[in-house]
Amino acid sequence: MENRRVVVTGIGAVSPLGNDAKSTWESMKAGRSGISLIESMDTSEYSVKIGGEVRGFDHTRYFSNPKDARRMDRYAHLSIAAAQMALAESGLIEGEVDRDRIGVMLGSGIGGLGTLEANHTALLKRSPSRVSPFTIPMMISNIASGVFSMEHGFGGPNMAIVTACATANHSIGEAWRMIKFGDADAFVAGGAEAAILPMGLAGFGNMRALSIRNDDPTAASRPFDSGRDGFVMGEGAGVVVVEEMEYAKKRGATILAELTGYGLSADAYHLTSPHPEGLGAARCMDMALKHAGRNPEDVQYVNAHGTSTPQGDICETKAIKKTFGNWAKEGLVVSSTKSMTGHLLGAAGGVEILACINAIRDGVIPPTINLENQDPECDLDYCANTAREVEITAALSNSFGFGGHNASLLVEKYESKFG
């Protein structure tokens, strides 16, 4: 089988930093925080009162039928909105295309938690008859992917991956694999999450995974800083359109970047904690480089998983040093955009691949904000507090999830010196 190259032609995003990809990226470059006191629910009885909420967003404009929007959970609203934006930028369906060769891979780590909460309350406080007949399709994690394929008549492979916080990267990576294998010519792929809800906040909060820096929300997410005390939960969606290169060129698409490598692995270690030496994460990054045929020194930027948890940031630092060796300190720049967005869980990788692609395009690495006292065990260059101009030809995006799920994506400047 020929080596089919895969390129990115569209990006869509909804995040705490903006309701589209452009505003999200501009906020990242400016080092703005999207974290604030939660407004969507009463947090008076919760230890955690902060989050990265999507605000002022009208999802109805992305649905041709308003009835469809009412029958979907918020996570699906965000997912489909980002997917519509990515599809519009790509111009994929502006001409004649074989829609049976276009796939959809829109995942979610948690799915329709809001729908589950609301209908469980109706069941307990009212009666079984008050549970909506749409409860099941609204809460399952595959429905955004299914509905988007129905909306556009895409008859190619259609799946929804659920790997916690690695969901979006796995979705994009598996789309890459299917295109390379010849099962599709293009994919709409990414992830979405909307879990800033009573169950989400209580669940993560009670396991002491979340920051309780409630009196200073914008400074709460502080990856690699010695004062970090947990991640800040965010919500949103990030989606890309990926295509086989010749297919994209033939239709005259604007190519934003080339997706050259994808790595995946398991920690096989612990329910929620990463391997203390970062072994699974290192294997994952190694695989992405191997698939791309690249050496460590070919990569200038790593968008770290960097959640701002005490253990996770150290483990990822160890993993980066295992994979990149001397280059980790000699030439690599690392940053965590979660310092600004919070942790978007299953949507994280979809928004962070946006950061990598735009960093390559603009020659700007977005900062890790709130990095005031760097943890001695986190001893790399994390682009502290201010964006930096760097010529970038290749960038790696990491996403690691509960259950030991790891996924890394390598994107490169299209037709760069490596191409």
Which DSSP symbol is given to 377? T
Query: Cα–Cα distances in Å, from 144 out to 15, 37, 148, 195, 222?
Result: 17, 28, 6, 16, 32
Phi first, then psi: what are they for 128, rounded to 5°? -55, -30
Give me the catalytic one of 305, 315, 356, 405.
Answer: 305
Contacts of 359 (CB under 8 A, 6+ apart): 301, 303, 365, 366, 392, 395
Give me the catalytic one of 343, 378, 383, 405.
Answer: 343
Edge to edge, the sheet with strand 257-266 lists: 158-159, 102-107, 186-193, 236-244, 6-14, 257-266, 405-412, 394-401, 301-303, 333-335
Give me the catalytic one of 165, 284, 356, 378.
Answer: 165
> How many whole angstroms separate alpha carbon 190 and alpha carbon 13?
10
Tokens of 133: 């007949």
> How many whole angstroms separate alpha carbon 335 and alpha carbon 327?
15
CA angle 320–321–323, rounded 5-degree value: 65
The upper half-sphere exposure of residue 135, i.e. CA atoms within 13 Å in the direction of its Cβ, equals 14
**275 part of the active site:** no
**77 part of the active site:** no
Phi first, then psi: what are they for 51, rounded to 5°? -170, 175
Phi first, then psi: what are they for 193, rounded to 5°? -155, 145
**165 part of the active site:** yes
Give the residue from 362, 351, 365 showing the smallest Cα distance to 399: 351
User: Hey, what's the torsion of the CAs at 176, 180, 182, 187, to 10 degrees?
Assistant: 20
Active centre residues (catalytic): 165, 305, 343
